[in-house]
Amino acid sequence: MEQNTYPEHDVADLSLAPLGRRRVAWARSHMPIMRSIIEHFEKEKPFTGLTIGICLHVEAKTGVWLEALTKGGAKVVITGSPGSTQDETAAALVEDYGVSVYSRRDESFDDHINYCRKVLSHQPDIIADNGADLHELIFTEPEFSGFQTSLLGATEETTTGANRLREDFHADKFSTLIINDTQAKRIIENRFGVGSSVVDGIMRATNVMLHGKKVVVIGYGYCGSGTAQRLRGMGAHVTVVESNPLTLLEAHMEGFYTSTLEEALPDADMVVTITGRDNVLRKEHFELMRDNTIIANAGHFQREINLADLAAVSQSQDKIRPHVTAYQLEEKQLFVLSDANLVNLSAGDGNPIEIMDLGLALQSLSLERIALNRDSLQNIPQPVPFDIEMQVAELAVKHWINH
């Protein structure tokens, strides 16, 4: 694509595109489900004439997904999340697929929200959201309220976003297919994918040994349970903290130590939040932790860990490794990984490629359903239609087991 024909964008450096192109090619070679969907979309063109606005991590696996959407006829505009953007992939998406990308690895949360506004300024017909940030603007800012009646529909990737749609916005103006409501997403991506990628991110960030470490995992949903299992598999002694009594009982029956947060923190070497809720760790919790505790967030938003509270009780802060900040308190120091951004994406490469092959296939076929058959959907947040989930599961069996 000639430089003067590039779409509007805000990325770190277009000269990084060759490296991003190689990243996307590597991901594509390990994504047989998405390759089959690319062929299908290229032939059928289900998105002809439509603009799809996206908020999702801008990295190589996402690049393969956007290739499918653009070859399916869509105009695509995307923003990512703070700390997770691969700047080289962002550049390649602008150059190779004509995608309007508003995303930088070093963006702040305020930058991120402004980038979400930029996405909506392109007047998308469909949105694909991650944490309900695009939905929030549509339901809270008058400038974007018109989307409540103009959108054909939406998808939402995460548990966090689904909770916000159902609890905060009572979104009933258009259909939103919740990818995370599928068993395929919950079990394959959340339990196995997130579990392994969180351990990978922590190891890359710290280079510390997990064997023998006392680790507190806060939250035992599908992501939390997978993370706890993978940490235990690495030899860590894992204690689970969970507010839902049934889920806590599940953790107990699966052999984990269980405790309250107040009881577990003073003995922890490492604490991992993975709840999708705000302010899980606050001033009173930091005061309970012992010297040299490592703190990581694997939930959707940075604000699971209240960094303002931590800064308020700290005498100084020092970035001692690329993804490790030391907070010096009066009698101890605490280490926060990746500024409390998603540790698996900010310190690592996110979920394994093959895992996201399945997850992004769910996204792709859900968007196709919205584009071609939206009248079959209710104007509420709802699970992905069962036939789509089964189609993706069959493709996974075909390519992963019976190939």
Q: What is the CATH number of the domain that holds 300?
A: 3.40.50.720
The domain of 51 spans: 3-185+351-401
The pLDDT of residue 3 is: 58
The pLDDT of residue 160 is: 85
Residues 355 and 313 in one domain: no
Residue 167 tokens, joined: 């609890």
Residues 74 and 181 in one domain: yes
- Is 44 labelled as part of a ligand binding site? no
Residue bearing tokens 């490492």: 270
User: What's the order of all strands across the beta sheet hosting 257-258?
Assistant: 257-258, 237-241, 214-218, 270-273, 293-297, 333-337, 324-328, 316-321
Q: How confident is the model at residue 391 (pLDDT cuts 50, 70, 90)?
A: very high
DSSP code for 86: -
Q: How confident is the model at residue 403 (pLDDT cuts 50, 70, 90)?
A: confident
- Is 364 labelled as part of a ligand binding site? no
DSSP states along 208-239: ---TT-EEEEE--SHHHHHHHHHHHHTT-EEE
Residues 32 and 161 in one domain: yes
pLDDT of 4 over the 80 cut: no
- Is 222 labelled as part of a ligand binding site? yes
Does pTM surpass 0.85? yes
Q: How confident is the model at residue 1 (pLDDT cuts 50, 70, 90)?
A: low
The count of domains in the chain is 2
pLDDT of 271 over the 60 cut: yes
Share of the chain above pLDDT 90, in %: 90
Q: Which of 136, 61, 86, 124 is nearest to 361 (CA)?
A: 61
- Is 226 labelled as part of a ligand binding site? yes
Give dist(CA 127, CA 100) in Å, integer: 14
- Is 327 labelled as part of a ligand binding site? no
- Asked which of 301, 327, 346 is the last residue of a domain, the reply is 346
Residues 181 and 49 in one domain: yes
Residue 235 tokens, joined: 């030899």
The pLDDT of residue 347 is: 95
The pLDDT of residue 2 is: 56
First to last CA, the chain: 36
pLDDT digits (tens, 9 = 90+) for 99-121: 999 999 999 999 999 999 999 99
Which residues, other chains included, contact 303 with Cβ-Cβ below 8 Å and sequence gap of 6+? 278, 279, 340
pLDDT digits (tens, 9 = 90+) for 82-96: 889 999 999 999 999
Residues 177 and 199 in one domain: no
Q: What is the CATH number of the domain that holds 59?
A: 3.40.50.1480
Give dist(CA 240, CA 216) in Å, integer: 6
* Contact between residue 200 and residue 348 where contact means Cβ atoms under 8 Å apart: yes
Q: Minimum mean pLDDT among 48-52, 159-163, 204-208, 354-358: which range?
A: 159-163
Give dist(CA 353, CA 26) in Å, integer: 9
Average pLDDT, the chain: 95
Residues 203 and 289 in one domain: yes
Query: Given the DSSP bridges, would you call strands 324-328 and 333-337 parallel, antiparallel or unpaired?
Result: antiparallel
- Is 393 labelled as part of a ligand binding site? no
Query: Where are the strands (E) in 242-300, listed by range?
Result: 257-258, 270-273, 293-297
- Is 225 labelled as part of a ligand binding site? yes
Residues 195 and 150 in one domain: no
Give dist(CA 217, CA 16) in Å, integer: 37
Which residues, other chains included, contact 171 with Cβ-Cβ below 8 Å and sequence gap of 6+? 135, 139, 165, 380, 381
Residues 87 and 154 in one domain: yes
Q: How confident is the model at residue 382 (pLDDT cuts 50, 70, 90)?
A: very high
Give dist(CA 197, CA 285) in Å, integer: 26
Give dist(CA 296, CA 334) in Å, integer: 11
The pLDDT of residue 168 is: 87
- Asked which of 303, 323, 346 is the last residue of a domain, the reply is 346
Residues 36 and 59 in one domain: yes
- Asked which of 329, 346, 363 is the last residue of a domain, the reply is 346
- Is 223 labelled as part of a ligand binding site? yes
Residues 203 and 323 in one domain: yes
pLDDT digits (tens, 9 = 90+) for 250-266: 999 999 999 999 999 99
- Is 250 labelled as part of a ligand binding site? no
Residues 151 and 14 in one domain: yes
Q: How confident is the model at residue 318 (pLDDT cuts 50, 70, 90)?
A: very high
Q: Which of 134, 23, 8 is nearest to 81 (CA)?
A: 134
pLDDT of 123 over the 60 cut: yes
User: What does each C-alpha distance from 201 to 207, 208, 246, 349, 368 come to in angstroms?
Assistant: 10, 11, 29, 8, 33
Residues 213 and 145 in one domain: no
pLDDT digits (tens, 9 = 90+) for 215-254: 999 999 999 999 999 999 999 999 999 999 999 999 999 9
